[in-house]
């Protein structure tokens, strides 16, 4: 397979150019066409000679996703179904809020982590996305925004779509290097958030990278008993191990860890759960996003009543925990948190795994 220039860092593109017998600067020139001007074919690289473009056609590709569907929610959220070169479907979501737009991107086709409340889990893991497939979601998302309003830019990126980003570690880090490079998309690290279910060794590794995004952790439980039941990954890295890794994570000044807490009626939403959560997190610089569960056909959980959600949040606040209520965005098009499973008009466009009846064995984790 020919190398994909979309998946290369600028340094790799320069090495690629040297390997072709070209000067090093040619690599940067080509890389900027792909990541700054975001062309989708070598023929658009108009300051390269015809012979160079012809050679590029022979020795490289520019990996491109294609837009298969765009669904628009009544609240303005748009869900993109994107197809990879090998025919896999992934989803990405554009979420407008005032003059800002956040894009939620995928890191894998499906997911192996098997959180019990998540529709993506029911797809199983098909494969990792390469770095080019991760960044092209942003480029296509920006292109779509510009069609409606040429001045509107994607302001924030969250790796919270399909997949566990830390299960695809190398491509995650490469994509971060590409998106934050000032000769490419130039996104600030503070505008990017990586969300994880809590792969402790990879969290430790991420803390040593030069590129360091915001960190969000999908916690969803105040104790191991509940977390074991809804997130099988907890059997491998329990809450104590997870919080230990987070305490050691080198947070930059004025940054906090975000915990996500999907509120499931009768499972993790009692006042006692709120009190236990506040106690658990009191020594960590953090905030908690409370996300009332977004229903989907593959799980039988229920969303707590608005009164129960309010009571839970009030109890957290009373005990000193900083919390934010995240109401669903795009839930009418299955675009809300935990609903991504390649569904169009409520029906999956690719088959999901057979519905389970009990807790599965622990997922394959590194």
Interface residues toward ligand SF4, by CB under 6 A: 111, 113-115, 118, 120-121, 162-164, 197, 218
- Residue 118 CB, shortest distance to ligand SF4, in Å, is 3
Nearer to ligand SF4, 121 or 172 (CB): 121
Return the axis-axis angle of helices 10-19 and 24-35, rounded to nearest 10°: 130
Instruction: List the Cα angle 192/74/269 in 5-degree steps.
Output: 65
Q: Sign (positive/negative) of CA torsion 24, 25, 29, 35? A: positive
Instruction: Map residue 323 onto helix, strand or coil.
Output: strand
Q: How far is the CB of 162 from ligand SF4 (least distance, A)?
A: 6
Query: What backbone torsions phi and psi does residue 286 show, to the nearest 5 degrees?
Result: -155, 170
Helix ranges restricted to H, the chain: 10-19, 24-35, 50-59, 131-148, 169-180, 200-206, 224-230, 239-248, 271-280, 306-318
Q: Please indicate whether residue 337 is annotated as part of the active site.
A: yes
Of 104, 111, 316, 337, catalytic? 337
Nearer to ligand SF4, 162 or 286 (CB): 162
Q: Has 91 been annotated as catalytic?
A: yes
Residue 262, by phi and psi: left (phi above 0), alpha (psi -120 to 50) or beta?
beta
CB of 362 to ligand SF4, least distance (A): 13
Minimum gap (Å) between residue 349 Cβ and ligand SF4 = 18
The single residue of 91, 164, 260, 298 carrying the catalytic annotation is 91
Q: Which is nearer to ligand SF4, 121 or 226 (CB)?
A: 121
Closer residue to ligand SF4 (CB): 163 or 295? 163
H or E segment and range at residue 263? strand 257-263
Task: Kindly list the catalytic residues.
Answer: 91, 337
């Amino acid at each position: 397979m020919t190398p994909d220039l979309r998946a290369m860092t600028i340094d790799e593109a320069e090495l690629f150019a040297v390997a072709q017998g070209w000067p090093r600067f040619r690599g940067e020139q080509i890389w900027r066409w792909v990541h700054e001007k975001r062309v989708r074919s070598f023929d658009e690289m108009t300051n390269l000679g015809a012979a160079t473009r012809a050679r590029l056609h022979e020795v490289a590709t520019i990996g491109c996703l294609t837009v298969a569907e765009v669904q628009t929610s009544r609240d303005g959220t748009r869900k993109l179904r994107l197809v990879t070169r090998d025919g896999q479907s992934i989803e990405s979501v554009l979420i407008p809020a005032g003059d800002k737009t956040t894009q939620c991107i995928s890191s894998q086709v499906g997911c192996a982590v098997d959180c019990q409340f998540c529709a993506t889990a029911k797809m199983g893991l098909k494969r990792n996305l390469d770095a080019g497939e991760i960044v092209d979601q942003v480029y296509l998302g920006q292109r779509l925004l510009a069609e409606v309003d040429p001045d509107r830019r994607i302001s924030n990126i969250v790796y919270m779509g399909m997949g566990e980003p830390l299960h695809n570690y190398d491509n995650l880090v490469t994509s971060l290097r590409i998106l934050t490079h000032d000769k490419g998309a130039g996104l600030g690290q503070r505008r990017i958030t990586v969300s994880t279910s809590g792969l402790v060794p990879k969290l430790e590794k991420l803390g040593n990278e030069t590129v360091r995004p915001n960190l969000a952790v999908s916690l969803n439980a105040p104790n191991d008993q509940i977390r074991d039941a809804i997130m099988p990954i907890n059997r491998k890295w329990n809450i104590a191990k997870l919080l230990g890794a987070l305490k050691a994570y080198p947070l930059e000044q004025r940054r906090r860890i975000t915990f996500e807490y999907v509120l499931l009626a009768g499972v993790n939403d009692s006042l006692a759960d709120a009190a236990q959560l506040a106690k658990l997190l009191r020594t960590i610089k953090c905030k908690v996003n409370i996300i009332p569960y977004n229903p989907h056909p593959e799980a039988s959980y229920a969303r707590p009543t608005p009164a129960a959600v309010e009571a839970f949040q009030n109890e957290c606040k009373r005990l000193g925990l900083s919390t934010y209520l995240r109401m669903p965005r795009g839930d009418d098009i299955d675009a809300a948190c935990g609903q991504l499973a390649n569904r169009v008009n409520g029906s999956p466009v690719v088959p999901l795994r057979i519905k389970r009846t009990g807790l599965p064995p622990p997922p394959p984790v590194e």
